[in-house]
Amino acid sequence: MLANNQNADTLKLLNDIVLPFLEDGTVIPVISNSFRIEQIFQADLELRELLKKEAKYYDDASTLEQQLTKLWATKINYPMSDDRNLARVAQYRQVEKQDTELPKIEYLKLINDRLLKLAENDSDFKDKVAELRARTQRLVFSETAQQLEYPRGFSQGRADPLELLASLDLPIFITTSYSNFLEAKLEKLGKSARTQLCFWDGNKAGINPDHLPDPKFNPTTQNPAVYHLFGMEQYKDTLVLSEDDYMNFLITAAEGFNSQELYPTPLRLALPTARLILIGYNLPDWDFRALFRFLLMARKTAKKKKSVAIQLRPALGNQDYQINSVKYLEQFFDDHDFSVVWNNPDEFIYSLIEAKNAGRGQP
């Protein structure tokens, strides 16, 4: 049952904005990179301990992804105070080393090594960790997570929220994740997912042709498209990670908006009219800011339709700051035709599936 007020508010928004449009496939989940990062590293007690500091301002609120960034910042002697800002830390490293690829390699190695360190404390996986570390060619992060069976379990033994999202009969998914976690869940459910790497205008020689935008591909519920906007980990050059990368992404999006090689027709046609669900984003982060600017650009000529942004309510030490932060966020999103759901992303997905099944008379 959706018992508490928070879930009641979520259910109302689902009934008003999402559920009526699921069956015609005009809902598009937009999934952040941090969505899976947060789930995987929930088991990292050391990182979680670092989150206990009481926040005073909204942008003080920390995430596990930000704590991972702090570890990287410490390792490279990052000299500024905003050491949780992934794009800023990557930008610093890029300038310091005069190399655009090195920060991407370092970041991917950081999260991969952190996961190996976490798993080695589990006696059942020590041999597997040793085997993975001994590989001459390192696995990408998503493969490491799969080999080590992360994320491991969810509260009260419930299903994996990402798999529940994948179970929705939708032809289009958008993600700013660097990994193919979503595609793996779609495949597990018997769907033939098509990865589409968008907005990369660099060298395509080393990219699997099946991952490049195909103007002839028409996504369906059984053959959905997963559009990766910020690159993929196996093609390091494509990652949108530093501040320069995000600026280049927006410039490319503006200049190449009508290019089928960068911006596939099904995505271009769907974005202006779809009901979007933004999952796992943190308002101050660059990935949200660049994504949101892109979405506004894609929808600027469309008839206004409400979408949903999921945000955690700021847990601030000063109640006045909390009230003002909530008002600001609600006004910000409302100005751009988004309603805010104050909920944990996992809980929102559970509520969505529960409400959907209830509407169909399923238990």
Q: What is the DSSP string of 235-284?
A: BGGG---SHHHHHHHHHHHHHTTT-TTTS-HHHHHHTTTSEEEEES--TT
Dist. CA 341–CA 307, nearest whole Å:
10
Domain locations in the chain? 5-34+161-359, 39-147
Burial 223-243 (b: 16+ CB within 10 A, else e): ebbbbbbbbbbbbbebbbbbb
CA nearest 85: which of 114, 63, 56, 108? 63
pLDDT of residue 191: 97
List the Cα angle 212/217/219 in 5-degree steps. 110
* pLDDT of 316 above 60: yes
Reported confidence tier of residue 55, pLDDT bands at 50, 70, 90: low
Beta-strand runs (E) in the chain: 27-31, 172-175, 194-197, 225-228, 275-279, 307-311, 338-342
How far the first Cα of the chain sits from its last, in Å, is 11
Q: From residue 268, how far is each of 30, 172, 301 by CA, in Å? A: 15, 11, 12
CA angle in degrees (0–180, nearest 5) for 127-130-135:
130
The residue to which tokens 């280049």 are assigned: 248
* 186-199 mean pLDDT: 95
Give residue 3's pLDDT.
42
In degrees and rounded to multiples of 5, residue 349 shows phi and psi of -65, -40
Query: Confidence class of residue 315 from pLDDT cuts 50, 70 and 90?
Result: low
Most confident range, picked from 2-16, 137-151, 195-209, 217-231: 217-231
Which residues contact residue 122 at a Cβ distance below 8 angstroms, ignoring those fewer than 6 apart?
A: none
Give the residue-averaged pLDDT of 40-68: 82
What average pLDDT does range 112-122 have in this prediction? 94
For the domain made up of 5-34+161-359, give the CATH fold.
Answer: Rossmann fold (3.40.50)
Q: What average pLDDT score do residues 264-293 get?
A: 92
Most confident range, picked from 53-57, 81-85, 160-164, 201-205: 160-164
Mean pLDDT to the nearest integer, 158-184: 97
pLDDT surpasses 50 at 94: yes
CA distance readout (Å), 104 to 54, 61, 245, 248: 31, 25, 11, 16
Return d(Cα 279, Cα 320) in angstroms, integer: 27
What pTM was estimated for this model as a whole? 0.93
What is the per-residue pLDDT for 319?
73
282 has pLDDT over 50: yes
For 221, phi and psi rounded to 5 degrees?
A: -65, -30
Give the per-residue pLDDT at 1: 39
